[in-house]
Structure formats: structure tokens, C-alpha cells
Chains A and B, each alone.
With several copies, the nearest count.
Chain A
Amino acid sequence: MARVLLFGPLRDLAGWRDREVEAASLAALRGLLADEDADLGLALGGPGVQVAVDQAVVRGDAALTARSEVAFLPPMSGG
């Protein structure tokens, strides 16, 4: 059960901020979220959206464990 966090406009689009999702990889997680909510699935792969696993930005796929924290970070606004 990885913990999934959404930030900024992604949170408004999805209607939730954090959830537990059972997935063994980032690719599998993306697939599960897209099956549930096609708009969200598209947005998570949209331009400038970064993904952090356990607070480290990752590119491409990554293995997830039961304690992984996966954050989807839309383009940053700055402070």
C-alpha cells in the first residue's frame, strides 16, 4: 500500500489529497489511477509534472514497497 500524494491543481482535479494504493511499481500505480479517473491519469503524465518517490525525484519507472511515498508534483509556482 504505497501512499500517494497530490499537490496543487492535481489535488483539485482528483478531489483527494492523499490515498493508499496497492501497486508494486510506479507504472502500475499510474495504470490503476488512470483506470479509476482518466482525466487524472492524463494530468499525472502531463507536461512538467514530476514524481518523487520517498522525496527523491525519479524519472521513468520505479519499484514501490508497502511503505513508499509517491508524490505527483505539478509545475511549481514558486513562493
Chain B
Amino acid sequence: MTIRLSETPFDPGAELTAFSRGRTETGAVATFTGLARAERGATAILELEAYPGFTEAQIGRIADQARERFGLHDLAILHRVGKIGPGEPIVFVATAASHRRAAFEACDFLMDYLKSRAPFWKKEHGPDGARWIEPSAQDHADRERWDGR
């Protein structure tokens, strides 16, 4: 299980290559890559701040939950911090399980957590200046799908 923050751009494909290599009993690998949208020019740069050490530890607690809940063989989470340009990957999540249902659901679960409750602070630098942003109502609703299930 790896959880990493990266100050520099990364290639989700290289992460998937490393993650899927040499798995003879895994069967299923699901991934999600979140990319910075240009919003047709409305967002020039996204800036993400983490609390190094604390952020990884908090993500690690949810990752442990996901491993147990979905019977994962392994998972990887890589998250950009710092200034991110349009089209650049922000987050990469990979999950490995025996069967596809568990791999998909765990990846979905982890993304819902990361988008709504992980310790990141996000600023959008657009043509009209910068603003801090919070999770959308949809992000909260997505995460709540998992409560009590």
C-alpha cells in the first residue's frame, strides 16, 4: 500500500504500470485519475495545499478501512500538491482485488473520501483572481452513499 504526495507532475500510466506488474492472483485493477479542468479558461491554475505527514496519515486511515471493507489485495494513492496546470493529473487511485466489483467499489469509495474529507486546501487562480474552494454538495452526497451500507 502506498500513499504519496507529489510536488511535481506525475504520469498516471507509469503508476498503473508499476501497480499492476507481477500480480498473478489479483484479477482486477481499477484506477481513477482526476485531471485539472481548464473550465474553458475560467481556471488557469489550481493550487493544492496539504499538511505533510498529517495528510498522508489521515488518508492512510481511510485506505485501511477500504482494504478491509472491500478485501483489497493492494491500493495506491498519489496526490499532487502545489500549483497544477490545466490537464495535469491531480489524483491517482489504484485498487487491486480478486474480482472487479470490489476493485471498482473501493476506488469509487476512496475518491469520494478524497474529494470531500481529505486534508487538502484548494485555491483556484482564475482571470478574476484567486478563491479558496470547498467540496460541492455533490461531493458530500457522493461520500454519504457509503455511510451505513
Which one of A5, A8, A79 has the greatest number of beta carbons of chain B within 10 Å?
A: A79
Is the beta-carbon distance between A7 and B121 smaller than 8 angstroms? yes
Minimal beta-carbon separation of B99 from chain A (angstroms): 14
The residue in chain A whose Cβ has the minimal distance to the Cβ of B53 is A55
Q: How many residues of A contact B (CB 8 A)?
A: 15
Which residues of chain B are near A7, meaning CB under 8 Å? Answer: 49, 51, 121
Quick check: is A52 within 8 A (CB to CB) of the other chain?
yes
Nearest chain A residue, comparing its CB with the CB of B133: A77
Inter-subunit contact A77/B132 (CB<8 Å): yes
- Listed in ascending order, the chain B residues whose CB lies under 8 Å from chain A are 34, 48-49, 51, 53-54, 57, 79, 90-91, 114-123, 132-135, 139
Can you list 25 pairs linking A and B with CB atoms under 8 Å apart? A8-B49, A8-B121, A9-B121, A52-B51, A52-B54, A55-B51, A55-B57, A71-B54, A73-B119, A74-B121, A75-B134, A76-B119, A77-B48, A77-B121, A77-B134, A77-B135, A78-B114, A78-B115, A78-B135, A79-B48, A79-B79, A79-B91, A79-B114, A79-B115, A79-B120
